Amino acid sequence: MYRRELLRGAAALPLLALPTLARGGVATQEAAPRAPRIGPPQRPRVHLARVRPGDSAWPSPASWQKLNDAVGGNLTRVQPLFDPCRREPDGAACREVLANLHNPFYIGDQPSGTEVSGWLDAWTPAPSVYAIRARNTADVVAGVNFAREKQLRLVVKGTGHSYLGTSNAPDSLLIWTRGMSGVTLHEAFLGSGCEGKAAAVPAVTAEAGAMWIDLYQAVTNQAGRYVQGGGCTSVGVAGLIHSGGFGSFSKGFGTAASGLLEAEVVTADGRALIVNACTNPDLFWAIKGGGGSSWGVVTRLTLRTHDLPEFFGAAWGKIKASSDEAFRRLLAHFFDFYSTHLFNPHWGEQVKIGSDNTLEISMVCQGLDPRQAPQIWAPFFAWVKAAPADFSATNELGARATPARHWWDIEGNPSMIQDKRPGAAPGHGWWKGDQGQVGAFLRGYDSLWLPATLLQGEQRQRLVDALFAGSRYKQIGLHFNKGLAGAPADVIAAALDTATSPALTEAFALAIIADGEGAAYPGMARAGVDLDAARRDARAIDRATAELSRVAPGAGSYVSESNFFNPGWQQAYWGEHYPRLQTIKRKYDPDGLFIVHNGVGSEDWSADGFTRLA
């Protein structure tokens, strides 16, 4: 499990711990053999390699001009994010980049922007040669057809929230959907071809570039309903659906993908297909958790909306134990408390188990009123306060519930940071807890689902022992909303009707172990990477993960928050679903136009996506 000693990462700012990271992969690891193919043999391919600039087959200027005309003048050359600082270090354009480097909405507004600035020995942001600023489905069709006919490497990006680097690639053509951000509410929506087969339901339609904050503002703030989406407000709707998608309240409402009713997808042959449970149901199933940018370009999606609970709430605080023995008792008591009072559809989000013998609580709830939320936590807080020699609250302990209609208010919300750029949408803002991941350079990241059987009887002590042992190496975050065990039966059934691994329905939490440092975009003026510290971090993450693997052998992993170097990614991400996904991939994209790192079918291509393997 140890990483190789050679670290090729770009230079970066001094170490910045990332305790709030919520997506990603892992640090550099020892080169692993390519995972074996799963499923029946592939049929012969049309071509063996894609073309790059300088190749004789690279499109001529006249060809690019023709594409530009076809997309209404919205083809643009892409420059690196920090190119203005290279050209004019003291110029206004460079100052603008530096001033907005920690604003996720600004990063998403740049064609070369990526939410994180790379991953040690894994990937470095590298802009496409050209990008199509898509305005509509016709622009996307033009781009797909051009890439296929010219044998180009194709990249698809909405907001750039890919920890695995799948929304950027050098020498490529980018279809950039950021500008397609319309949101439409429906009182009663019925999918195409579903007449007489299903009932119309309240829903919301979002174009491919819409972010979850756009939907929360429209669905909750304006219409007083709820749509299950992501916790991070600047994440793209389409990208989250492709990965399965968890939000703070997934224990109550399920994954984002399980709420999908219909989508429009531009496939590799240039067709714009309507997909739902009644029309092209195989592709519909695949895009619900089957991985981003592997099936086509989603141009719009329609999601079920729900009655809005009257209240959302939270519980918070940080507890420090005075000794290892006291910390073990704290963990044991917390999981007794969790199993009895919190393992249900009401509670989600996370706790962090620190190497300094701390337990940090950052949990949220839905459907509990202002009396119930603090009442539930009162016995646990009282237990902590009753032993001042063993435990101290380094941050205030508390719980409350407030009207759900105002959860995503920006103005006057101390938990939110507003996008205050001139011309920014007034409803755009991000949670303060997500700030650490904006621009971060990843040193290491790993995750695994912890089965709910670990909460039962004597298994609970094994869980506590593993968490204590793992936390000796690195902080461990347990994201309870990213495992659906404890959810209602209908939520479980809906999740099982998606392409995501069934393991998520048997897990009570997703364990995430990660670390990184400040922004390290190419072209930044910065100090070099401390290689010794990077190696220590990588090994510490390995060792912490190994401790959890002892009690959860073969545990699956969430594709958006996973190990970049995982040699068994097919099983880890999709489990028993992978052969079916391969079959659908061959049907809709037989020549691999849509290839991303550790995506369905990527084992047939070189790591850069340019050469088909023999």
DSSP secondary structure of 508-569: EEEEEEEEEES---TT---PPP-HHHHHHHHHHHHHHHHHHHHHSTT----TTBS-TT-TTH
278 and 377 co-located in one domain: no
**pLDDT > 70 fraction of the chain, expressed in percent and rounded:** 92
Q: For residue 78, what are the CA distances in angstroms to 59, 171, 579? A: 16, 10, 37
Tens-digit pLDDT profile for residues 83-138: 999 999 999 999 999 999 999 999 999 999 999 999 988 999 999 999 999 999 99
Residues 136 and 215 in one domain: no
CB neighbour class for 79 (10 Å; exposed up to 12, middle 13-18, buried from 19)? middle
CATH of residue 172's domain is 3.30.43.10
* Domain match, 296 and 331 both: no
- 235 and 300 assigned to the same domain: yes
pLDDT of 432? 95
Contact 211, 180 (CB under 8 A): no
Q: What is the pLDDT of residues 174-197, one digit of tens each?
A: 999 999 999 999 999 999 999 999
278 and 173, same domain (yes or no): no
329 to each of 436, 467, 539, how far by Cα in Å? Answer: 30, 12, 27
Contact partners, residue 181, CB within 8 Å, separation at least 6? 206, 207, 209, 210, 211, 214
- Say yes or no to pLDDT of 411 above 70: yes
pLDDT attached to residue 22? 34
Express each pLDDT in 105-118 by its tens digit: 999 999 999 999 99
Q: What is the mean pLDDT of residues 299-328?
A: 98
Go through 262-289 and write b for each residue having 16 or more CB atoms within 10 A of its CB, e for each that does not: bbbbbbbebebbbbbbbebeebbbbbbb
Q: What is the domain-level CATH number for residue 263?
A: 3.30.465.10
Q: Indicate if 285 and 204 belong to the same structural domain.
A: yes
Would you say residue 171 lies in a domain? Answer: yes
Establish if 447 belongs to a structural domain. no
Tell whether 384 and 296 lie within a shared domain: no
pLDDT at residue 21 greater than cutoff 50:
no
- Strand 391-403 with 311-321, pairing: antiparallel
Task: Show the domain range for 108.
Answer: 61-178
In a domain, 2, yes or no: no
In this model, does residue 552 exceed pLDDT 50? yes
Residue-wise pLDDT tens digits, 137-182? 999 999 999 999 999 999 999 999 999 999 999 999 999 999 999 9
Decide if 461 is inside a domain.
no
Single out the residue of 509, 516, 607, 608 nearest to residue 558, CA to CA.
509
Q: Is residue 143 part of a domain?
A: yes
pLDDT digits (tens, 9 = 90+) for 529-545: 777 888 889 889 999 99
What CATH number does residue 394 fall under? 3.30.70
Residue 365 region by backbone torsions, left for phi larger than 0, else alpha for psi between -120 and 50, else beta: beta
Of 388, 403, 418, the residue that ends a domain is: 403
Of 307, 327, 358, the position where a domain reaches its end is: 307
What is the pLDDT, as a whole number, of residue 527?
64
Q: Is the pLDDT score of 14 beyond 50?
A: no
Mean per-residue pLDDT, 276-297: 98
Same domain, 279 and 328: no
Q: What per-residue confidence (pLDDT) applies to 532?
A: 83
Residue 51 in this model has a pLDDT that exceeds 60: yes
State whether 238 and 331 are in the same domain: no
The three-state secondary structure class of 180 is coil
Given a contact cutoff of 8 angstroms between Cβ atoms, the answer to whether 549 and 555 are in contact is yes
Q: Are residues 93 and 75 in the same domain?
A: yes
- Tell me which of 151, 178, 205 is where a domain ends: 178
Q: How many domains does the chain have?
A: 3
Question: For residue 592, which amino acid is it?
Answer: G
pLDDT recorded at residue 533: 87
Question: Is position 483 within any domain?
Answer: no
Residues 289 and 254 in one domain: yes
Output the six-digit token pair for 420: 């205050």
Task: Compute φ and ψ for 478, nearest 5 degrees.
Answer: -110, 115
Q: Is residue 574 part of a domain?
A: no
- Same structural domain, 70 and 131: yes
In a domain, 522, yes or no: no
pLDDT bracket for residue 422 (50, 70, 90): very high
In 366-514, which residue ranges form alpha helices assigned H by DSSP? 372-385, 459-471, 489-496
Q: pLDDT tens for residues 347-373?
A: 999 999 999 999 999 999 999 999 999
Query: DSSP label at 36?
Result: P
Q: For 455-505, write each residue's pLDDT tens digit.
A: 999 999 999 999 999 999 999 999 999 999 999 999 999 999 999 999 999
In sequence order, what are the residues at sequence separation of 6 or more whose Cβ sits closer than 8 angstroms to the Cβ of residue 329?
321, 390
